[in-house]
Copies of this chain bind each other. A is one copy, B any other.
Amino acid sequence: MQQAEIETGIRLSFEKLVALLARIFIRNGVSPENAGVLAENCASCERDGSFSHGIFRIPGYVSSLKSGWVDGAAVPAVEDAGGAFIRVDARNGFAQPALMAARDLLIGRTKEHGIALLALRRSHHFSALWPDVEPFADEGLVALSFVNSMACVVPHGGHKAIFGTNPIAFAAPRRDEPPFVFDQASSALANGDVQIAAREGRLLEPGMGVDRNGEPTRDPKAILDGGALLPFGGHKGGSIALMVEILGAALTGGYFSGEFDWSEFKGAQTPKTGQLFIVIDPERGGNDVFRDRVSEISALVREAGQERLPGDRRMQSRTRSMAGGIVLSQANYDMLRSYV
C-alpha cells in the first residue's frame, strides 16, 4: 500500500506542506504567527512518519477551532516567576505557540542556572510531544516534557478513565549523530493509533484497552466508544500516568485529563490541560563529554541486540522526505485542499 501511495500520491516539499497547512490554520481562525508554529509542527510529524499526529489531525484541529473551544489567535502570556521558573498562561490557545513564546527565555535561564522549568497552563496539545523537546537537544541541552490530555485511560485495576494518554518525551544530544529522542504515551497505545486502527478496521493486540463495561477488548471501536485504554506495563505505567497528571496539570495550574468540560462545544477535540518542561545544561560543571557518553550508551544498546532505538525510524523518514518530498495520498491531499 505504501508503494501504491508513492506511485499515485502527491509529492510536496516540506516548505510547501508547511505553507498549505498554515493557510488551513489561518482560514480557520488561527493567527498568522500561531499558524506558522502549528503548520511546521504538523508538517514535521508527517515528514517524519508520525502519521497519527500529522495531517491525520487536521480535521480535528479544524473541528475544534470551529467549535470555539480553542482560541487559535490566543496571545500567550509569559510569566517570569524568577530564577529558573517560567510560567505561561496559554490563554486557551495551543501549547506549541505558548512554548515558542517562552522558548528563548527558557534556554537563557537554563544556560544561566544549569536547569530551568517551563510550566504551561490553559493550553491545548493535539500533536506529538517529540517536536517540543528535540530542538533543545539541537542546542546541546537535555529536555524532558510531560503533557496530560483527555480522560481515556483507566488506572491499573480500575474501571473509570481518568488519565489521558499522558506522554513523556525526552531528548539528549549525541556526538556527530541526531539527538536521542523518545516520546511515549503512558497508555499501552496512543489514541491516534487506536483511531487509525479503527479507521482501517484492524484488531489491536491484547492488553491495550477495555470496553464501556470495563471488559478487555481488542476492538479499537469499542475502546473509542465509551471504553478506555490501559496504562502500559501494568501498575508501573499507571504510576507514570499519575505523575504526568501531577507534573502536567497540578504543577502548572492546568486541568486534569478528566476535569475540563467541553460538552457545550460541539466538535471540540483538543484537550485543554497543561504541560511541563524541564531543561538541563548537561555540561554545567565541566562535564564536556556528555554528548560522547550518550552516543556511547546508544551504541551499547545496539550492540546488545536492540535493532531500533527510539527516533531511528523518524530520522529515516525525515531523510527520505527531505530528499524526495513528503508523499500524500490523493485522498489526503484533497482533504487538505477542502479546508483551505
Contact = CB atoms under 8 A, between A and B. Distances in A.
B278 A239 contact: no
A304 interface: yes
B236 A301 contact: no
Contacts of A249: 293, 297
A157 interface: yes
A184 B239 contact: yes
Given A172-B246, A246-B297, A256-B300, A285 B79 contact: yes
Nearest to A155: B306
B285 A81 contact: yes
Given A115-B278, A236-B184, A250-B282, A162 B300 contact: yes
Given A115-B278, A246-B180, A155 B285 contact: no
Interface string A193-227: 00000000000000000000000000000000000
Given A160-B304, A182-B243, A306-B158, A114 B83 contact: yes
A283 to B, nearest CB: 9
B233 A237 contact: yes
Given A180-B246, A237-B233, A304-B162, A113 B87 contact: no
Contacts of A287: 251-253
Given A182-B243, A233-B232, A242-B297, A115 B84 contact: yes
A305 B182 contact: no
A182 B239 contact: yes
Contacts of A184: 236, 239
A293 B254 CA distance: 10
Contacts of A83: 84, 112-115, 284
Contacts of A294: 246, 250
Contact of A154 (B280, B305, B310): B305
B310 A155 contact: no
A54 interface: no
Q: Which of A157, A243, A258, A306 has the most CB of B within 10 A?
A: A306
A250 B280 contact: no
Interface in A226-283: 232-239, 242-243, 245-247, 249-253, 256, 258, 278, 280-282
A21 interface: no
A332 to B, nearest CB: 28
A117 interface: yes
A334 interface: no
A115 B250 CA distance: 16
B284 A81 contact: yes
A156 B306 contact: yes
A121 to B, nearest CB: 9
Contacts of A297: 242, 245-246, 249-250, 256
Q: Closest 6 A-B residue pairs measured CB to CB?
A: A233-B233, A85-B114, A158-B305, A81-B285, A83-B113, A250-B293
6 contacts: A81-B114, A158-B306, A172-B246, A242-B301, A251-B282, A258-B300
Given A172-B250, A180-B246, A245-B297, 18 more contacts: A79-B285, A82-B284, A84-B113, A85-B113, A113-B113, A115-B116, A157-B305, A160-B304, A172-B246, A184-B236, A236-B237, A242-B309, A250-B282, A250-B297, A251-B287, A251-B290, A256-B296, A256-B297
